[in-house]
Amino acid sequence: MTDTNPVTWLDPKSIAETLSGTAGEDKGHIREILAKGRDMKGLNGSDVATLMNVQDPELQQELYTSAKFIKDKIYGPRVVLFAPMYISNLCKNECLYCAFRVSNKALKRRVLSMEEIAEETRILVNQGHKRALLVSGEAYPPKEGFDYIIKAIETVYATKGDKPGAEIRRINVNLAPESVENFRRLKEADIGTFQLFQETYDRKVYSQMHTHGKKSDFDWRASALDRAMEAGIDDLGMGVLFGLSDWRFEVLSLMQHIAHLEDKFGVGCHTISMPRLEPAHGSDVASTPPNAVSDDDLKKIIAILRLAVPYTGMIISTRETPQMRRDTISLGVSQISAGSRTNPGGYAAEENEGTFSESQFQLGDHRPLNEVVEELAQLGLIPSFCTACYRLGRTGDEFMEWAKTGEIHHRCGPNALSTFREYLTDYTSPETIAAGEEAIQKELQQMPEKDQRISNNLLRRVKDGKRDCYC
């Protein structure tokens, strides 16, 4: 076991050959791949590259319909909700697209105290959030170092809100790549998912965009998920920052990374995020992406990935507009953030829309949690605040076994309804309650009889005053 993992699995030459060998739009072949995808056993790199060529409006609609079929089959109407919690914007890296970069002297640096982290947590749980993504710049307070992160996690878990059951039940983290030793400490701190974006798999572009600091070491970052796995963290989140390099190359590289993890550890990633470059304080690169990804291309990326890795959760953040988030949920997105702030202490501060003085990037969706939940319910979707799988050990290969047999559906469905009812009871407005109860009743009617019984039992327990009810 070592902290040095040279990246040999990334093969740009084979990606270039795959892209050149799958050029053109063969309608018959594309439809064969779509049919293969609907079997929910995944797609290979050649299949993915072929689908990237879809331009014909009719074929594009068939791609979207196939992605929706898989999303509905595996996830049903559930949409998992979470909130990012930025605790520090200290950073030693020079990433040209990021407001947190070390050279940005105009940025006010802030490291939250444990009391401030507790206050951020109280605000989130009093809104109804149960799942938080802890985010920090890639440097820690000099006197505390990595201990700061461990203390922050302990503080979030220990903080309670005003209502019974008002607490963060699972913390996921988005942090700098770590040593195996520190990854073990994260595991012992009871995190859920460790999330890390490679940003770009194009070594040349990576070097141009990351000019200083530990992050300039491509291999250190690209091998981080190996170290996390070696440390026992088997629930991983991956992603690409679209807009830095050719999105076709990035998607096929992502597929190679997933295949590497599956080959070496027997399980790939649990989630994939699809952030696009958004304006960031003082960054020309962020304002004018070198390889901008259009709305249509982002939709295509999401639909293709839903077919390629059907059991992987897909995340769209509040970088995107409300309309774009609505559109992508039907194409495969299964998790979204809501009511987000991307600056340390943002939930406790009165913010003016469009100001990025301490924020990492510009938001596209400024709506509060309640408004997002109400819209989802009106669309017939079930907002889920469930964290049961993490706490019952259904992660890694065990989660995949449950997912591929379809058994997970019989757990996630009832748990989603239970947590949604808890939210409706304790946190929201009459309008959201009305829309939510209608969505719950509609979903109950569509459930198998056994799932209905389990769901109704959990819903009764919530009505009777119990909280955190799951199976």
CATH number, residue 221: 3.20.20.70
Supply the pLDDT for residue 354: 41
Domain boundary among 366, 399, 414: 366
Please give the Cα distance from 421 to 466 (Å, whole number). 11
The count of structural domains within the chain is: 3
Answer yes or no: do 88 and 210 share one domain.
yes
Answer yes or no: do 42 and 81 share one domain.
no
Q: What is the pLDDT of residues 187-213, one digit of tens each?
A: 999 999 999 999 999 999 999 999 999
Answer yes or no: do 394 and 355 share one domain.
no
Answer yes or no: do 53 and 143 share one domain.
no
Supply the pLDDT for residue 1: 42
Answer yes or no: do 305 and 438 share one domain.
no
Supply the pLDDT for residue 4: 57
Supply the pLDDT for residue 3: 62
Tell me whether residue 7 is in a domain: no
Tell me whether residue 81 is in a domain: yes
Tell me whether residue 350 is in a domain: yes
Enumerate residue ranges in the chain where pLDDT < 50.
1, 351-356
pTM for the full predicted model: 0.94
Answer yes or no: do 39 and 137 share one domain.
no
Q: Provide Rg for the chain, Cα atoms.
A: 21
Answer yes or no: do 198 and 289 share one domain.
yes
Domain boundary among 304, 331, 366: 366
Answer yes or no: do 327 and 396 share one domain.
no
Q: What is the pLDDT of residues 233-282, one digit of tens each?
A: 999 999 999 999 999 999 999 999 999 999 999 998 999 999 999 988 88
Record the tokens describing residue 32, joined without a space. 């064969």
For 447, the domain range is 388-463
Answer yes or no: do 178 and 101 share one domain.
yes
Tell me whether residue 321 is in a domain: yes
CA of 462: how far to CAs of 170, 275, 375, 422, in Å? Answer: 20, 36, 23, 6
Answer yes or no: do 30 and 93 share one domain.
no
DSSP 199: B
Answer yes or no: do 211 and 314 share one domain.
yes
Question: Which residue type does 409 have?
Answer: H
Burial of residue 84 (CB within 10 Å: 0-12, 13-18, 19+) is buried
Answer yes or no: do 221 and 329 share one domain.
yes
